[in-house]
Amino acid sequence: MNQTTTRISPEEIDRQRGFCAQIKAVNAALPTPPLALVDTYGCQQNEADSERLRGYLSEMGYAFTQSEAEADVIVLNTCAIREHAEQRVFGNLGALVHTKRRKPDQIVCVCGCMAQEKHVADKIRQSFRHVDLVFGTHALWRFPELLWRILSRRGRVFDIPDEAGSIAEGIPVRREGKVKAWVSIMYGCNNFCSYCIVPYVRGRERSRRPEDILAEVRQLAAEGYRDITLLGQNVNSYGRDLGLPGVDFAWLLEQVDAVPGDFLIRFMTSHPKDASERLFDVMARCEKVAPHLHLPFQAGNDRVLQAMNRRYTREHYLGLVRALRQRIPDIVLTSDVIVGFPGETTEEFEDTLKVLEEVRFDALFTFIYSPREGTPAARMPDPMSKEEKAANFQRLVDLQNAISAEKQAAYVGRTLRCLVDVLSDDPRHDLNARTPGGRLVHFSGDKALLGQFVDLKITGSSTWALFGELAREE
């Protein structure tokens, strides 16, 4: 792999927008605007990437649809983090044979993390002949050029450069809604956890320049966005590759907090080996930074953590939690846990349960280990049966659900300033809101409240949600 990070020049982005203009001219001659569908799998970084794909497609003159049968261009932006995500993609990809049979000119594209894996690209090349375009994470900025090749020459295009990755500023963005926004501050990962494919498909860590990030945040604040999430595979590594004295993630957080506007700042994800008390001090001091930290611990046993190449110990993690709660007592703390890592015994798994009991997370994202081809963990002996792993997983879920329900119930009777972020799809409630810590609140009210901060009195709770009503002014 080429280890050099490339910063794409403004001239190269202008060249891509030139391809957008050519495609738009072709589309303008059609009786009605052609339709595009971008189907996103996986993490928030993929969601941010899809916003750029939609931005390009919009500049090309496409309107958007959620119907595969109607779409003229379909883009599957894929995730490779777990086997289940890959199988969903392959299943949905196979179903597109029928839509393309009915609509032969339909263009089917696959991009994202799965597409960056050579064995996946080879499988698509051989077994999914209806796919026209496959491009990896490093080629996203050249999507207009790649699509133009399909439109002007036909034939199939596969573009999966083996490189450290690049940074491209100036790609158009089409965001979903006007309340929440994702802002990528860096790309890639240098950690090489033994179970994780991300460094292989996203490349090495590379930070956007602070002036570019701050300009994007200022624009979002000026447009009225209320909830801005800073994204990176490990945000705590931000700035290390820039060579700028004093520029790190805590510094960046302070700069974003100083941007004028009434909005919340969230961020993810933090790696415990790089989380610092300086970061916690900044979080406590900055008024706009949400009182929420997602801090994956993955396992509670030191031998397992070492096998995972996580580079911290259980006690180090618990020390971080204590330091954080000293500064922000009402912090909402969430985490990730992997059950059944190769070689993990039930006794070692019980150390994870002890961490749950001590920390008492507000919520967990829990997974049974899924081997990823090309990672060290995929070659490790894995003697525990699927049945034992499933039983341990259920113990974990049952314990966390009980903790979550108790933590949620503690909100009842409180009045919180919440952001109304989406319309509810539950007929019993008109609107959904989020507490500063990110807890979901269902309530009823005027739809005109969408995008506003309101005071909600919490009247009820469940394991995963709160219920509230507009607080009356005294």
Q: Are residues 13 and 157 in the same domain?
A: yes
Q: Are residues 114 and 209 in the same domain?
A: no
pLDDT of res. 84? 82
Angle at 363 between CA 315 and CA 180, to 5 degrees: 115
- 190 pLDDT tier (thresholds 50, 70, 90): very high
Q: Are residues 225 and 273 in the same domain?
A: yes
Q: Are residues 201 and 161 in the same domain?
A: no
The CATH number linked to 55 is 3.40.50.12160
Tell which residue, 194, 349, 324, has the closest CA to residue 272. 324
> Where among 166, 198, 220 does a domain terminate?
166
- Residue 2: pLDDT over 50: no
> Do the domain assignments include residue 439?
yes
CA distance 356 to 318: 11
DSSP-derived letter for residue 190 is S
Residue of 425 and 58 predicted with greater confidence: 58
- Cα distance between the two ends of the chain: 64
Residue 64 is which amino acid?
Answer: F
Q: Are residues 250 and 321 in the same domain?
A: no
pLDDT of res. 474? 57
CA distance 96 to 143: 21
The stretch 299-306 carries a mean pLDDT of 98
The rounded percent of the chain whose pLDDT value lies above 70 is: 99
For 29-55, write each residue's pLDDT tens digit.
Answer: 999 999 999 999 988 999 999 999 999
> Where among 288, 318, 345 does a domain terminate?
288
What's the chain's average pLDDT?
95
> Do the domain assignments include residue 81?
yes
Q: Are residues 278 and 161 in the same domain?
A: no
> Where among 410, 426, 457 does a domain terminate?
410
Q: Are residues 342 and 388 in the same domain?
A: yes
DSSP-derived letter for residue 163 is B
Q: Are residues 282 and 295 in the same domain?
A: no
pLDDT of res. 371? 93
Please give the tally of structural domains in the chain.
4
Residues 420 and 450: beta-carbon distance below 8 Å: yes
> Do the domain assignments include residue 171?
no
Residues 13 and 170: beta-carbon distance below 8 Å: yes
pLDDT of res. 81? 85
Structure tokens at 228: 């801005």
Residue 188, domain extent = 177-288
